[in-house]
Amino acid sequence: MRALRAAGLIAIVLLAACEPEPEIDHYVLALNWQPAFCEYNTAKPECGTLDEDDFAATNLTLHGLWPNAADGDHPFYCSVTANDRRTDETGDWCALPAPGTDQATQAALTEAMPGSRSCLDRHEWIKHGTCTGLGGDAYFDTSLHLLREVEATELANLLRASIGREVSRRDLLQAWERDFGPGTAKALEIVCRRDGSRGLLTELRLALRRDALDEPLSGSMLFREGPPPHGGCPAQIYIDPAG
């Protein structure tokens, strides 16, 4: 409940942190498929210990929540010092200031955002979260709430049932629309990386109305303007297992 109340501030807080004020018309929730990410990032601390019993082996995990604009002019680094921006852009994320999450939120991120072991949470806060008008704790509570909502969908269940084999892109989109209605897959981008002849699922990106993040996930909170995204996936998508 605390997360939902905090998320509701998005609709009423003036996003004056950036100069000039960002033109935000939607948010993108980016969720990783961690086993595929770790295929190409074996040196990351969160990848060295990933095994089939981990939450991240069978569930989507949090990458970030990004303020966005349909015209492509996305806001970044709002009210951030030049030094912190340089630190972030050089990839020295663990040298960035902590985002101000409380103990419960940080504990939840340890499971739901494995990249927090590489200080991904600090990077996401500095680059994107500072442009939301929320504090760090509310920003991540909102992100975790949305992740849980997606994890309860038929699409997420289909991903779990398809680990170690291919599933069609069409089946994934149809699973999404069975939950949220015809045409709602236009708000969903399925992102793949080519691995020889296969396309590995790496990420899902969901476009959300800027005034609806505190609502239960539904077709009415999805942002569907612009052309349908594709994400570079072939007709058949491989769902990588851990290991």
Cite the active site residues.
Answer: 63, 124, 128
Tell me the DSSP string of 111-156.
Answer: HH-GGGGGTHHHHHHHHTGGGTTS-HHHHHHHHHHHHHHHHTSHHH
Q: How many residues does the chain have?
A: 243
Separation between Cα atoms, residue 128 and residue 62, nearest integer Å: 14
Helices 154-161, 136-151: axis angle to 10 degrees equals 70
Separation between Cα atoms, residue 129 and residue 122, nearest integer Å: 9
Separation between Cα atoms, residue 235 and residue 126, nearest integer Å: 36
Separation between Cα atoms, residue 113 and residue 99, nearest integer Å: 14
Eight-class DSSP state of 185: G
Q: Which amino acid is at 201?
A: L
Contact between 121 and 115 under an 8 Å Cβ cutoff? The reply is yes
